[in-house]
Amino acid sequence: MWNWLRLVKDSVSEKTIGLMRMQFWKKTVDDVYCDSPPHQPVAIELWKAVKRHNLTKRWLMKIIDEREKNLDDKAYRNIQELENYAENTQSSLLYLTLEILGIKDLHADHAASHIGKAQGIVTCLRATPYHGSRRRVFLPMDICMLHGVSQEDFLRKSQDKNVRDVVYDMASQAHLHLKHVVFCIQGGFNQPRIV
């Protein structure tokens, strides 16, 4: 399901088609939790996982809702907006992973939140050349403006210091989240239980 949702934005020519696909997944998740999954392989496997691991519906819906909001081709206004997107997508997926592993621990949840945010920031950075080849830039506007960088600088693949400073600031924010993860681990969340 994660992969299907991830690919919707790049595989549709119109936002309306993307919205229809997201609606399909919302209905599928609702049906899965009503014990009537559609006869579709991914939906059936999701239903099995929900039954076996008692997965929280809220995390699945957050992923879909956030991906739906992200169908617009707009840059993030600020780093907090990107972190919010990462929390609702990457971190939600990690919360589901913790549930599958049978881990119920506040420190583990906190660590998953920060890992998801770091992963989201790094994914945004890594995807910049790909998006640039499609004439799109999603880097946070506040950081770009702080360093006097325009979207065109990224589209031209500029190597100027101010462009590198944008990348450095974003990577530093991701690193800060990983430092929080180390703190969470040192806080002593319980060892994983194999279920």
- Tally of structural domains, the chain: 2
Asked if residue 65 belongs to a domain, the reply is no
| pTM beyond cutoff 0.75 | yes
Is residue 61 situated within a structural domain?
Answer: no
Answer whether 128's CB lies under 8 Å from 139's CB: yes
Q: CA-to-CA distance for 131 and 138, rounded, in angstroms?
A: 8
Whether 107 and 66 have beta carbons less than 8 Å apart is answered as: no
On whether the CB atoms of residues 69 and 22 are closer than 8 A, the answer is: no
> What are the structure tokens assigned to 189, written together?
């969340």
Over its length of 195 residues, how does the chain's per-residue pLDDT go in tens digits?
Answer: 545 555 555 555 577 888 999 999 999 999 999 999 999 999 999 999 999 999 999 999 999 999 999 888 789 999 999 999 999 999 999 999 999 999 998 889 999 999 999 999 999 999 999 999 989 999 999 999 999 999 999 999 888 999 999 999 999 999 999 999 988 777 655 554 433
Q: Do 45 and 8 have their domain in common?
A: yes
In a domain? residue 67 = no
Instruction: Write out the two tokens for 185.
Output: 């681990």
Q: How far apart are CA 91 and CA 33, in angstroms?
A: 21
Query: What is the model's pLDDT at position 194?
Result: 39
**Token pair recorded at residue 187:** 């806080």
